[in-house]
């Protein structure tokens, strides 16, 4: 039966860095319903026609085989945001292939398969992925994290695409931010910590010309988020408090592809 599935992506990370100076790269993801991948499937008894995945047919078949599954038929994948911007396209496309193959195993197994294939994975296969401290290079949940208060994010693209390199460990130590995040309660607390994570990343990795911190101050945002490897940037506001001039102000600062969405669960 022909079917369509939707895999939601994310919008960078609230936090990302090393858990200690020599520790693993960890993150707290920011789910986003406006990003991700849509997959369309038309069955066939044999053969595979694959488009839109950025993968060759042998690569897709090899990934499915690693899960003990097989891919046949016609599969068309469409990313809602271009790859390399920090919205989880790489993970979402593999999740879509797994689901379209009929595989329905545990999230941990899917994460391990994604990491074996690409070297890193976003935690999109888990329920409430923003409530996990996730070691993205080793596929391990380090600890549960608190639910965030409801909020709104408005953001877009600044700079060029930047694909994740699984060998890249050049991130700042955020162990203090992780500890404070686990104890945070108010949206102001969470937004402040997200802002500090982004500031540390930019100070170490650049670009130093990034306008997002100044935009957050100008528009009265509580804080801001970024794709720590990618080009997405977003401002955090309480629900219903995004200024009407936010889009125009962000475009004037050089951002493009502006979107607005809701976050948080309490």
The answer to whether 88 and 111 are in contact (CB under 8 A) is: no
145-263, CATH topology level: Alpha-Beta Plaits (3.30.70)
CA distance to 68, 219, 229, per residue, from 166 (Å): 25, 35, 11
CB burial string 66-85: b at 16+ within 10 A, e below: bbebebbbebebebbbebbb
3-142, CATH topology level: Ribosomal Protein S5; domain 2 (3.30.230)
- pLDDT-wise least confident of 97-106, 139-148, 163-172: 163-172
Domain ranges in the chain? 3-142, 145-263
Average pLDDT, the chain: 96
The answer to whether 152 and 239 are in contact (CB under 8 A) is: yes
Backbone phi, then psi, for 142, in 5-degree steps?
-80, -45
Helix crossing, 107-118 with 89-100: angle to 10°? 120
- pLDDT-wise least confident of 53-62, 125-134, 170-179: 53-62
pTM of the model: 0.95
The answer to whether 90 and 79 are in contact (CB under 8 A) is: no
Average pLDDT over residues 185-214: 96
Strands 232-237 and 223-226: antiparallel
The tens digit of pLDDT for each residue in 54-84 reads: 899 999 999 999 999 999 999 999 999 999 9
């Amino acid at each position: 039966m022909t079917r369509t599935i939707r895999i939601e992506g994310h919008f960078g990370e609230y936090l990302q860095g090393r858990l200690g100076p020599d520790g693993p790269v960890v993150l707290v993801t920011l789910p986003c319903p406006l990003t991700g991948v849509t997959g369309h499937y038309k069955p066939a008894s044999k053969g595979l026609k694959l488009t839109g995945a950025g993968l060759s047919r042998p690569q897709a078949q090899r990934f499915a085989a690693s899960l003990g599954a097989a891919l046949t038929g016609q599969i068309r994948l469409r990313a809602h945001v271009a790859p390399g911007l920090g919205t989880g396209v790489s993970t979402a496309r593999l999740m879509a292939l797994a689901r379209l193959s009929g595989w329905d195993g545990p999230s941990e197994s899917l994460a391990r398969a994604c990491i074996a294939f690409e070297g890193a994975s976003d935690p999109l296969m888990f329920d409430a992925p923003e409530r996990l401290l996730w070691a993205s290079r080793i596929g391990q949940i380090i600890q549960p994290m608190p639910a965030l208060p409801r909020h709104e994010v408005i953001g877009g693209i600044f700079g060029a695409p930047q694909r994740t390199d699984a060998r890249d460990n050049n991130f700042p130590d955020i162990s203090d931010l992780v500890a404070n995040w686990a104890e945070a309660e108010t949206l102001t607390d969470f937004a402040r910590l997200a802002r500090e994570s982004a500031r540390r990343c930019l100070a170490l990795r650049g670009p130093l010309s990034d306008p997002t911190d100044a935009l957050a101050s100008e528009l009265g945002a509580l804080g801001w988020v970024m794709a720590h490897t990618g080009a997405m940037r977003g401002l955090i506001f309480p629900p219903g408090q995004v200024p009407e001039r936010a889009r125009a102000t962000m475009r004037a600062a050089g951002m493009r592809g502006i979107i607005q969405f809701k976050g948080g669960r309490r």
